[in-house]
Chain A
Amino acid sequence: MTSILKVDQLQDSGGNAIITSDGAGNITTPGITTYTNSDALTLFNASGSAPVYACRAWVNWDGASGAGTTIRGSGNVSSITYNGTGDYTVNFTTAMPDANYATSAFASQESSADNNVTCVGQKGVISSNYTVSSCRLQMRRLDGVTLDINLVTAIFVR
Chain B
Amino acid sequence: MDKRIIYKNIDGSIGIIIPANCGLTVEQIARKDVPTGLKYKIVDVSEIPSDREFRNAWTIDDSELTDGVGE
Residues of chain A at the chain B interface (Cβ within 8 Å): 59, 61, 65-71, 74, 76-85, 89, 91, 93, 134, 148
Asked if residues B18 and A79 are in contact (CB atoms below 8 Å), the reply is: yes
Beyond A78-B32, A81-B33, A91-B33, whether A67 also contacts B22 by CB under 8 A is no
Query: For residue B5, which residues in chain A have a CB less than 8 angstroms away from its CB?
Result: 79
Hey, which chain A residues are within 8 Å of B20, CB to CB? 59, 71, 74, 77-80, 93
Instruction: Determine the main DSSP class of B at the interface with A.
Output: mixed
Query: Once the chains bind, are A79 and B16 in contact (CB under 8 Å)?
Result: no
Determine whether the beta carbon of B17 is less than 8 Å from that of A74. no
The answer to whether A77 and B45 touch across the interface, beta carbons within 8 angstroms, is no
Residues of chain B contacted by A79 (CB below 8 angstroms): 5, 17-20, 22, 29, 33
A-B pair number, CB within 8 angstroms: 76
Q: Are B29 and A78 in contact (CB under 8 A)?
A: yes
| Contact (Cβ within 8 A) B22 A78 | yes
**Number of residues in B with C-beta < 8 Å to the partner?**
23
Tell me if B60 is interfacial: C-beta within 8 Å of chain A: no
Residues of B within 8 A of A (CB): 4-5, 13, 15-24, 29, 32-33, 45, 48-50, 52, 55-56
- Interface contact A65-B50, CB-CB below 8 Å: yes
**Of all chain A residues, which has the CB nearest B26?**
A79
Minimum CB–CB distance for B2 against chain A, Å? 10
Given known A-B contacts A78-B32, A93-B24, A69 and B18 have beta carbons under 8 A apart:
yes
Give complex CA distance A80, B15 in Å: 10
Residues of B contacting A65 in the complex (Cβ-Cβ under 8 angstroms): 50
Interface centre among B4, B20, B32, B49 (most CB of A within 10 A): B20
User: If A68-B45, A68-B48, A91-B33 touch, does A74 touch B13 (CB 8 Å cutoff)?
Assistant: no
